[in-house]
Amino acid sequence: MSETKELELLIDIEVEHPKKFKVYLLNDNYTSMDFVVDILITIFHKSYEQAEAVMLDIHKMDRGLCGVYTNEIAETKVIHVAKRSQSSGFPLKAIMEEE
């Protein structure tokens, strides 16, 4: 193959970045604020101050943004929230939306 043809092939190839998904925690009237903060620190790796700010967003706006991730990571975090919430007796729910 000639150099020109190889160069044309390289130019035609576009790199697609993976889609990103926002993960939100949803407000409910039963989950304790301390539990929400703990989830944000342990699952979403927020500092205490960041976790408290997101928890207040959840309380005031009925949901709070926990982070933006690739599909697989977002799904994993949603599943971890569901498992921890269920095992702790809380109805806290996480959802993901495409960015």
Q: What is the pTM of this model?
A: 0.84
The pLDDT value given to residue 22 = 98
The pLDDT value given to residue 77 = 98
Architecture per CATH, domain 17-98, reads as 2-Layer Sandwich (3.30)
pLDDT in tens, 3-60: 555 556 555 566 678 899 999 999 999 999 999 999 999 999 999 999 999 999 999 9
Q: Which of 43, 31, 44 is nearest to 88 (CA)?
A: 31
Task: Confirm if 30 and 91 have CB atoms less than 8 A apart.
Answer: yes
The pLDDT value given to residue 16 = 78
Q: Which residues have C-beta within 8 Å of that of residue 67, sequence separation ≥ 6?
A: 22, 23, 44, 77
- Give the residue extent of every domain in the chain: 17-98
